[in-house]
Structure 1
Amino acid sequence: MIISKARITAIGSYVPEKKLTNDDLEKIVETNDEWIVQRTGIKERRIAHEEEFTSDISYKAVKNLMEKYNKSVDDVDMVIVCTMTPDFKTPSVASLVQAKLGIKNTGAIDLNAACAGFTYGLHMANGLVTSGLNKKVLVIGAETLSKISDYQDRTTCILFGDGGGAVLIEYDEELPSFLSSHLGSDGDRGKNLYCSDISSRMFEQELISSNKIVQNGREVYKWAVTTVPKGMKKVLENASTPLNEVDWFVPHSANLRMIESICKRSEFPLERTLYSLVNYGNTSAATIPLSLANAVTEKKLRHGDNMLLYGFGGGLSHAGLLIKWTI
């Protein structure tokens, strides 16, 4: 059990208008709808237009949050954007979002833990608010993965899409959201999922220097289906909470077959698992907030529900949180 004085008080999301369906991909690479759905569960994904970037998606997700919950962000004192697709190396996406929102007195940082980014961001925000260093934090998970996807590689381009979600975290001693957490990384396996940049080597291994996502799907799959169930168990042990008291499991929406295997190994029912991949694809740091936002829209979540969030991916990093839904 962790001490928390932080509460999630609002959530918003945004996805670009353009859809890239499996039938569309059939015209680009050697694939088809049946092959993609059978292996991934994905039917379509959203694609940012040429002049739409992660900062734009982040800003629109926050605006959606403000409109849905009638919230002001003028007094936000920290903006954390979780992304692996920043507009620039510098300034940060968070700084660009701060400028778009016109928040004058706030810190702004980007956090890159790839597909585990949003859960790492929540963990950080809880620590900042609970410690008293900050009072009101925006955590945004947003990506424009289409801009770093190789549309000649059918093993990766069928997976990725664009979108974003945002939550507002405020100081609240009476009704905190955060119950426990567990973090980890297996950096020696980073060569199985990367996007090259300055360096073309990793642990003396030559990398494909294409500035596009490169993934060894088989190895990432094997790592995830063994690592995540163990991590879920750690999160629950840290909160002294049995699995049957978890109302919803919200994993990173990488691949439906992977989620099915994780649920089977952890003995958690698939029907109480939230995912966003069917219509949005793998949006990395955005998958979990998109899953939550969709569940809110569909009125699946109830005040007081226990939710086990688990992000995992590039790094290979992973992070799990047990939270109580208090919106």
Structure 2
Amino acid sequence: MEQRYAKILATGMYLPEKVISNEELSERYGFDVSTYLSGITLRHIAAENECASDMGVKAAEAALEKANMKPEDIDLLIMTTDTPDYVTPPTAPAIAYKLGASNAGAFDINGACADATIGLSIASQHIMLDKTINNVLVVAPYAMSKWLDWDNKVLAPMLGDGASAAIVTVSNEPGYITSTIVADGQYWDGYGVYVGTKYPVTKEMVEKKEHLLRFHPNFHKYPPDVNYGHWPDVIRKSLKKAGYTEKDLDMVILTQVRLADIEQTMENLGLPLEKTHWIMHKYGYTGSACAFMALEDALNEGKIKKGDLVAFCTSGVGYVMSSALFRWV
């Protein structure tokens, strides 16, 4: 069987027009929200008539333009988010239809804010194992503002909206190397949007705002180091699979929820901050979309060059974490 490889060809992103600053929220809440938001200074908010697929299409169009590709060139479209248009049907076919990707198969994955990295891995593996799939579009929209209770002074200030996309394509040299997924389901009752077969929507729920993003009544707290205490090990698992060490890494792209978590992760890895990149001060925290946004911003600043070893590591509630290694080719 012919050896096939996959690489990241292009990225794209989209941010809604409306912006809410920390200062605006601080005035509303009567305290400085910046005191617990590590690095976040603002958040973009989707328009009332703007949904996840709408934003995803705009990010996808930007990626296609950079790749000099047409929607018809896409063989597979993977939508990664925990804020889809609907519980069902899936959102990926709607994005493909709106985009004009008439030749693409399409499906959703939900790994909460870890899912973009998982999507990259799945896209790469499809290309490497199926010679009929040469171009995969991974679309990561995030529309959590639709589920926010703005009276929740802890969760609401953390989150914003946006979308990003990455095109993974067949390559004549290795780009994608390996990946890792870990999970610890004991934290299912930390916080989330608790609507579904376990919690069907009722009138009483809506009246109490229990259909929105909230802390679960069990109030199962994540440990303070849930991210920076685990991200390094998730990255090391992928490095070990590939025969690399931390010192081989040239760039580390992490979930953009807290700058302090990124700083402590890099310290744990023994790497300088110059080998990572953060964007929450520019774009806010955009959940599923943040990793590709950080990648695009790092590329725009010239921080990634041909031959670099790039690690992605993202995490989502529940919890789910994933890392992936790519050689930049």
Fold shared by both chains (TM-score > 0.5): yes
Give the structure 2 partner of residue 184 of structure 1: 182
- Please name the residue that 1:318 is paired with: 321
Partner SS, residue 290 of structure 2: helix
Offset of 1:220 from its aligned partner?
A: 5.2
CA RMSD of aligned residues (A): 2.0
Specify the SS of the correspondent of 2:235: helix
Give, in angstroms, the shift of residue 289 of structure 1: 0.3
Alignment CA distance shift 1:31-1:71 (3 Å) = farther
Q: Which has the higher helix share?
A: 1
Per-residue CA deviation, residues 17-66 of structure 1 (Å, 9 max, x unaligned), is 11111011123323325424xx4211111111101111011100011112
Q: Does residue 1:265 correspond to 2:263, yes or no? A: no
Which residue number in structure 2 is paired with residue 117 of structure 1? 115
Q: Deviations over 1:116-146 (max 9, x none)?
A: 0101101111111111162211011110111
Q: Tell me by how many angstroms 1:322 deviates.
A: 0.9
Q: Which residue of 2 aligns with 1:204?
A: none
> Measured at CA, do residues 220 and 79 of structure 1 come closer, stay the same or move farther in structure 2, by a change above 3 Å?
farther
Q: Is the 8 A contact 1:30 1:154 kept in 2?
A: no
Sort the Cα spacing of 1:42 and 1:218 in 2 relative to 1 into closer, same or farther, 3 A.
Answer: farther
Structure 1 residue 267: Cα displacement: 2.0
1:100 positional shift = 0.9
Contact 1:29–1:154 (Cα < 8 Å) also in 2: yes
Structure 2: gaps spanning 5 or more residues: 201-207
**Match 2:128 to one of 127, 130, 135:** 130
Greater Cα shift, 260-269 or 183-192: 260-269
Q: What stretches of structure 1 move > 3 A for 4+ residues in a row?
A: 215-218
Take 1:200 and 1:89, find their aligned partners in 2: how far apart are those partners?
13
Does the CA contact (< 8 Å) of 1:28 and 1:151 recur in 2?
Answer: no
Query: In structure 2, what is the Cα distance between the partners aligned to 1:250 and 1:122?
Result: 13
Letter paired with 2:253: V
- Which of 302, 311, 322 is the matching residue for 1:299? 302
Q: Within 1, Cα distance between the matches of 2:95 and 2:34?
A: 39
Aligned to 1:205: none
- TM-score normalised per structure 2: 0.90
Query: Partner residue of 1:19?
Result: 19
My pick for the range that moved more, 120-129 or 61-70, is 61-70
Q: How far apart are the structure 2 equivalents of 1:323 and 1:58?
A: 23
Structure 1 spans left out of the alignment, 5+ residues:
202-207
SS at match of 1:57: helix
Aligned to 2:194: 196
Counterpart CA distance in 2 for 1:284 and 1:220 is: 19
Q: Is the 8 A contact 1:4 1:179 kept in 2?
A: no
Deviations 1:185-221 (Å, cap 9, x if unpaired)?
A: 11111212321102239xxxxxx97222235696154
Instruction: Tell me whether 1:157 sits opposite 2:160 in the alignment.
Output: no
Q: Do the aligned residues in 1 keep the contact of 2:33 with 2:157 (CA within 8 Å)?
A: no
Give 2:106's match in structure 1, choosing from 97, 105, 108: 108
**Equivalent-residue separation in structure 2 for 1:267 and 1:300 (angstroms):** 19
**Aligned match of 1:50:** 48
Identity of aligned residues (%): 28
Equivalent-residue separation in structure 2 for 1:218 and 1:24 (angstroms)? 28
Once the two structures are overlaid, the 10-residue window that deviates more, 274-283 or 76-85, is 274-283
34 and 117 in structure 1: CA distance in 2 versus 1, 3 angstrom threshold:
closer
CA distance in 2, matches of 1:218, 1:74: 46
Q: Is the contact between residue 71 and residue 102 of structure 2 (CA under 8 Å) also seen in structure 1?
A: no
The one-letter code of the counterpart of 2:107 is I
**Structure 2: which amino acid aligns with 1:45?**
R
Q: TM-score, normalised by structure 1?
A: 0.90
Checking the alignment, whether the CA contact within 8 Å between 1:135 and 1:170 is kept in structure 2 is yes
Q: Distance in 2 between matches of 1:77 and 1:66?
A: 13
Residue 276 of structure 1 contacts residue 288 of structure 1 at CA under 8 Å; is this kept in 2?
no
Instruction: State the alpha-carbon separation in 1 of the partners of residues 35 and 283 from structure 2.
Output: 17
Q: 1: CA distance between counterparts of 2:179 and 2:242?
A: 8
